[in-house]
Structure 1
Amino acid sequence: MPILEDVKEYVQRATGAGRPGKKHAPDLARSRKPHTVRFKDDGLVPNHPRWPLVIYRSAVDLGKGRDPAAVMEDLLEANGWGDTWRDGIYDYMHYHSRIHEVLGIARGKGRLRFGGVKGRIFTLKAGDVAVLPAGTGHQCLSAEEDFLVVGAYPPVGTYDECTEVEDRPKALKTIPRVPAPRKDPVYGRQGQLLKLWKKPK
């Protein structure tokens, strides 16, 4: 599926077919209250010491006549979250220690565990968006065959992937240093994320 989606994305970006465009994509964001969850360090996955996982349910109108992945990409990119990718989510627990991540569900439904083995399981479906602060453990437990996620990252930070206990010492230092994003990936400067992820005074 990733190769097919890569081809589709290339053609869509070249032609504009199926894409709302970054100018109009923010109009497809539905006003939703954030669901927040904080996770403790579980011994393997540090999670974030201050900021919660944020889930927006049915936050994006994927509509008809547009490619849902393209809608997600244009919306996230319009709000400054880039390096987008289309794929599933790894079936093993992992986290990023030097960057935040957003996961927009473009198609299907999946059961995801956040926060490590002692974390919580959520079922996310098309139109849902999860925003993970650096350090948040995540993995896919099961998913429908057509499950497709669009992931993206804020402009500040460096992608890494941590899976082992040996990653912890460095991660514990880098996670709190990752700066808060300037925009909510779904709602831009008006989004609740900016209030939920405040810098320490």
Structure 2
Amino acid sequence: MKKPQTLFFKDDGHIPNSRYPVLLYRDMAAEDGRSLVETLEALFEHNDWPVQWRGGVFDYHHFHSTAHEVLGVYDGAATLRLGGEQGEDIEVSAGDVIVLPAGTGHCRISASNDFALTAGYPRGHGDWDICRHGDYTPDVQRHIASLPRPALDPVAGEAGGVVSDWT
């Protein structure tokens, strides 16, 4: 398993981001006669990040204050801005997986017509929410800071990713 790329984003006053890095795994492939989406969803489920929806990424800056999130791109390509309005544009395509710690801003800048991803959240960490700029308060910041680190990385399991990089 390749080690993920790590990206750090600081609090910009509107988007809290996280002390943990975003993890970016590239070039995941379909396995065992499954489609890419089936492969990604089985991997996330196996590592206790059950999938809750399929779709795209909103075209406005937002973050989640109640859960970490994994996004597995299974079709098309997109440019996502991570870290808020002053963040970094990241090109993603089918086979890329993004692990977003709670509080990390994300927004779709552009996407191919066939862009699609599957999304999961750590088992037992509660429901996810959608927060925008005006939702960032000291209480939200405290809640994000209190979230537990997931036991397993959604891609690498116990072998790396969240376990080794979110310390």
Q: TM-score, normalised by structure 1?
A: 0.78
Spell out, residue by residue over 1:179-200, the C-alpha distance to the aligned partner (whole angstroms, 9 max, x if none): 10111101111123211112xx
1:79/1:186 contact within 8 Å kept = yes
Report the number of matched residues.
166
For residues 132 and 61 of structure 2, the distance between their equivalents in structure 1, rounded to whole angstroms, comes to 7
1:102–1:132 contact (8 Å) kept in structure 2: yes
Runs of 5+ unmatched residues, structure 1: 1-30
* Unaligned segments of structure 2, at least 5 residues: none
Instruction: Find the counterpart in structure 1 of residue 161 from structure 2.
Output: 192
Aligned pairs for 1:32-181 within 5 A? 32-48=2-18, 50-58=19-27, 60-62=28-30, 66-155=34-123, 156-181=125-150
Larger radius of gyration: 1
In structure 1, C-alpha distance between the alignment counterparts of 2:75 and 2:32, rounded to whole Å: 13
Q: TM-score, normalised by structure 2?
A: 0.93
The residue type paired with residue 11 of structure 2 is: D
* SS of residue matched to 2:43: helix
Question: RMSD in angstroms over aligned alpha carbons?
Answer: 1.5
The 1:143/1:193 distance shift into structure 2, 3 A limit, reads same
Q: Provide, for residues 75-119 of structure 1, a one-character-per-residue CA deviation record: whole Å limited to 9, x for no partner.
A: 110111014311011111000011100011111111000000111
- For residues 116 and 32 of structure 2, the distance between their equivalents in structure 1, rounded to whole angstroms, comes to 17
TM-aligned CA deviation for residue 61 of structure 1:
1.2
Q: Give the structure with the larger helix fraction.
A: 1
Percent identity over the alignment is 43
